[in-house]
Amino acid sequence: MLKIVPKEIRKYFITVFCMGIVAFFLGLLFDNKYIYIAYASGVFVSFFMNLYLLYITYKVVYEYKGVSLMSLRYITSFIIYAISIYLISLVIEDKYAILANALGLISFRLVIYFYLLVNKIIRK
């Protein structure tokens, strides 16, 4: 499956994974629970859910498994995102931890937007 994934998408996955590891260790270094628990867990949940999206897309496109898998993936991802936010709200009882986790959950999209913005600036 990973043989057919474009290099640019691999670059996004590697960047998000490294970002999660760096956030975790920076949070430990500065003893900031918002970073090493809330944000890093959001980044890793985002990473694995987008990897799951890639797997389901591969199944639908290349193995013709059907579109019902996409609906199942959509529902599953929102359930896992909700569980992630709920668990963070139980562990760290603060609204800023929930915001840090939500920022981590959208980190994959932010990385894509950042790369697109950099490419647009470089091309000018």
Along the 124 residues of the chain, how does pLDDT read in single tens digits? 666 778 888 899 999 999 999 999 998 898 888 888 889 999 999 999 988 888 888 888 887 777 777 788 888 888 999 999 999 999 888 889 999 999 999 999 999 999 999 999 998 7
Say if 116 falls within a structural domain. yes
Q: By C-alpha distance, which of 37, 77, 41 is closest to 56? A: 77
Q: Max alpha carbon distance in the chain (Å)?
A: 48
How many CB atoms are closer than 10 A to CB 116?
10
Domain residues for 100?
7-123
Q: Ramachandran region of residue 66, left (φ > 0), alpha (ψ -120 to 50) or beta?
A: left
Say if 2 falls within a structural domain. no
Say if 22 falls within a structural domain. yes
Q: By C-alpha distance, which of 107, 88, 89 is closest to 37? A: 88
Q: Give how many domains the chain has, as a whole number.
A: 1
Say if 108 falls within a structural domain. yes
